[in-house]
Amino acid sequence: MEKRLEVSNNLNKNTKLNMYDKVIPYNNKLAPLYIRNSLFTLLPEGIEHIYVIGIGSNLINGDSLGPFVGTLLKNLYPGHLTVLGSLQTPIDATNVPEISRLNLPNNSFIIAIDSVLGNPKIVNSIVVRNGSVLPGAGLGHDLPPIGDCSVMGVVLENDPSVENSLFYTNLNLIYTMALQISRGISLTVRQYFNYPSDQPILL
């Protein structure tokens, strides 16, 4: 949960979103298409493999978005998509350094997934951002950044008084966000690597 403070502070400070930031209501029926379109603007040419790193805990509702996405995408497009972090094997502040030291092949692209606290105006939204997530930085932890881009679910308002609410965050909200993000990434992989249009979006 510690990493969330830094990321959410960034969302609050940036009242004017960056050029590549995309804020998408989590329950928008077209959210997967918007996520795909945003990721396409960030994917360089020549990428041969995409890694999805789902950051979060499988013990706290509001922190489980990353592991949910990892579980949904696991074993999908194995030739072009590798998932690290799932409900079975979560990635949190204790093992982020180990993940960051992995030697990935050239021409790889990393999408980091995380749940965050944010400005009340964008709570219950999905934010696609160019750049990495900074786990633990808000509480002074010296953890390495993760991701070439990040897809974040804004699950609660950035207010210290509601931080404990992460334990009781509506799991349907988290799961719906995870489905939307997973479908968006699936569409991205399917289109970028020219899979047939009848290839399932999710298994």
Sign of the C-alpha dihedral, residues 10, 108, 51, 142?
negative
Q: What's the pLDDT score for residue 162? A: 60
pLDDT per position as a tens digit, 122-178: 999 999 999 998 764 433 456 788 999 999 999 988 776 666 788 888 999 999 999
pLDDT per position as a tens digit, 16-65: 445 457 999 999 999 999 999 999 999 999 999 999 999 988 998 988 99
Give, as one character, the DSSP assignment of residue 66: H
C-alpha–C-alpha distance, residues 200 and 170, integer Å: 28
- Give whole-number Cα distances, 51 to 76, 107, 127, 167, 171, in Å: 12, 11, 18, 28, 25
Q: Which two tokens stand for residue 189?
A: 């992989």
pLDDT per position as a tens digit, 130-141: 999 876 443 345
pTM: 0.87
Helix or strand (DSSP H, E) at 118: strand 108-118
